[in-house]
């Protein structure tokens, strides 16, 4: 009997890192997580009340419009206009999270064999999606300050390049890219006739005077800029899987095909919660920013106070610190030992493409005062013990 073969394409795709970390945490159930990028709060109570009221509605149990509810799309269009200064030249599409928005965008603008420029360290799901789409990720390292090197990006563009991907505020580094940097990348895209896919899931999470900038607001950008957003982070809706994107009108038909095939429509109940959350507005999210900033400050102080041989990258956004560790241990071994021996979980840096040296991503968005000190004490002790610091 001949066994069916596996997909050659999928053999190039890395295994999801969260599964690796989650499996270890299940074996050690008292572990405190500094791994997954989530916040400690949930959606507005008013949104949950609306969800409860509409659960029995017949519309909730039926298929919806492939691009999302019209009233939700209108609300998102208004938000994008007021907060992000995106003009009406874009089409708004509701998706099952920002990851789905990225994958749909990728499928809409590339063909198998095309190239997509990812900046290293990249978000691992972007790199995975690029392989799954049959494209080649072209990896361009950030400069020493972990910000985009415009000249290096320019040199990486070939006749097969179809898109440049940016994430600001950044995952995994937490760095917020300057408006001029993002404008420069948009100018490259204009010059070469390629797309700029701008992932802005962490748009509200900025500190110390940093400001988020949406490159899609640049003059003429709507012809080639795809802007991705998420309700997961700011509104605490990770499990509801609800994101959205602003896309050039000329790719809307292809996005519609992809959406219909992949998910038929965004979940109706999730759209109801999102619409009610938007009625609360960004002020709901902002009320948590001061406490998040305080947590961030304490995490940074503790990292700077350790005797472990670490270097903490500058971070003024998202809820991450990216740390270089001077050790002979590789990142996955270090993460494994931190969970097994010290009860604290972080994410190994090699999953973000940083395989030269040992790097860790530390996520503090889910921490509250009750877990903050214990989590950081475990991490610091673990790093000092495992590195001999």
What does the pLDDT read at residue 58?
A: 86
* pLDDT band with cut points at 50, 70 and 90 for residue 253: very high
On whether the CB atoms of residues 48 and 242 are closer than 8 A, the answer is no
Residues sharing a CB contact under 8 Å with residue 326, sequence separation 6 or more, in sequence order: 309, 310, 311, 358, 387
What mean pLDDT do residues 253-258 have? 97
What does the pLDDT read at residue 7?
A: 85
* pLDDT band with cut points at 50, 70 and 90 for residue 3: confident
On whether the CB atoms of residues 71 and 64 are closer than 8 A, the answer is no
What does the pLDDT read at residue 87?
A: 87
On whether the CB atoms of residues 16 and 128 are closer than 8 A, the answer is yes
What mean pLDDT do residues 37-63 have? 91
Query: CA-CA distance, 278 to 75, in Å (whole number)?
Result: 7
What does the pLDDT read at residue 261?
A: 95
What mean pLDDT do residues 266-281 have? 95
Model pLDDT for residues 337-365, shown as the tens digit of each residue: 999 999 999 999 999 999 899 999 999 99
H or E element at residue 195 = strand 195-199
Q: What percent of the chain clears pLDDT 90, i.e. is strictly above it?
A: 87
Who has greater pLDDT, 350 or 144? Answer: 350
**pLDDT over 90 at 13, yes or no:** no
* pLDDT band with cut points at 50, 70 and 90 for residue 9: confident
Q: What percent of the chain clears pLDDT 70, i.e. is strictly above it?
A: 100
* pLDDT band with cut points at 50, 70 and 90 for residue 369: confident
> Is the whole model's pTM more than 0.85, yes or no?
yes
* pLDDT band with cut points at 50, 70 and 90 for residue 370: confident
What does the pLDDT read at residue 310?
A: 96
On whether the CB atoms of residues 12 and 131 are closer than 8 A, the answer is yes
Model pLDDT for residues 154-167, shown as the tens digit of each residue: 999 999 999 999 99
3-state helix, strand, coil in the chain (%, to 5): 45, 15, 40
* pLDDT band with cut points at 50, 70 and 90 for residue 194: very high
Q: Which two tokens stand for residue 341?
A: 């021996």
**pLDDT over 90 at 8, yes or no:** no
Closest CA to 106 of 124, 82, 85, 132: 132
195-199 and 161-167 beta bridge pairing:
parallel
What does the pLDDT read at residue 32?
A: 94
Between the alpha carbon of residue 35 and those of residues 71, 120, 201, the distances in Å are: 35, 19, 17
Closest CA to 204 of 277, 270, 148: 277
What does the pLDDT read at residue 103?
A: 97
**Averaged pLDDT of the chain:** 94
**pLDDT over 80 at 389, yes or no:** no
What does the pLDDT read at residue 388?
A: 84
136-141 and 161-167 beta bridge pairing:
unpaired
């Amino acid at each position: 009997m001949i066994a069916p073969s596996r997909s050659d394409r999928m053999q190039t795709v890395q295994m999801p890192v969260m599964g690796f970390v989650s499996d270890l945490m299940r074996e050690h159930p008292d572990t405190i997580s500094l791994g997954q990028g989530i916040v400690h709060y949930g959606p507005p109570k008013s949104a949950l009340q609306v969800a409860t009221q509409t659960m029995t509605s017949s519309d909730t149990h039926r298929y919806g419009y492939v691009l999302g509810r019209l009233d939700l799309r209108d609300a998102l269009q208004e938000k994008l206009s007021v907060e992000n200064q995106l003009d009406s030249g874009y089409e708004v599409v509701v998706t099952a999270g920002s990851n789905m928005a990225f994958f749909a965008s990728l499928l809409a603008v590339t063909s198998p064999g095309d190239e997509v420029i990812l900046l290293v360290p990249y978000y691992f799901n972007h790199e995975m999606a690029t392989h799954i789409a049959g494209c080649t990720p072209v990896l361009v390292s950030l400069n020493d300050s972990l910000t985009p090197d415009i000249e290096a990006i320019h040199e990486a563009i070939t006749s097969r390049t179809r898109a440049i991907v940016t994430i600001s505020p950044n995952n995994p580094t937490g760095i917020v890219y300057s408006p001029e940097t993002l404008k420069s990348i948009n100018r490259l895209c204009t010059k070469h006739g390629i797309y700029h896919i701008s992932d802005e899931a962490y748009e509200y999470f900025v500190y110390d005077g940093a400001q988020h900038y949406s490159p899609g607001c640049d003059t003429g950008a709507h012809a080639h800029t795809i802007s991705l957003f998420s309700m997961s982070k700011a509104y605490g809706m990770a499990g509801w899987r609800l994101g959205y994107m602003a896309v050039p009108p000329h790719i809307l038909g292809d996005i519609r095909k992809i959406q219909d095939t992949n998910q038929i429509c965004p979940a109706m109940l999730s759209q109801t919660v999102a619409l009610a959350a938007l009625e609360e507005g960004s002020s709901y999210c902002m009320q948590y920013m001061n406490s998040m900033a305080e947590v961030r400050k304490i995490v940074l102080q503790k990292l700077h106070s350790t005797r472990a041989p670490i270097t903490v990258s500058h971070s003024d956004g998202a809820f991450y610190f990216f740390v270089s560790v001077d050790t002979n241990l590789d990142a996955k071994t270090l993460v494994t030992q931190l969970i097994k021996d010290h009860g604290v979980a972080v994410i190994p840096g090699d999953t973000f493409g940083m395989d030269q040296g040992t790097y860790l991503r530390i996520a503090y968005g889910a921490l509250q005062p009750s877990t903050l000190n214990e989590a950081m004490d475990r991490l610091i002790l673990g790093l000092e013990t495992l590195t001999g610091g």
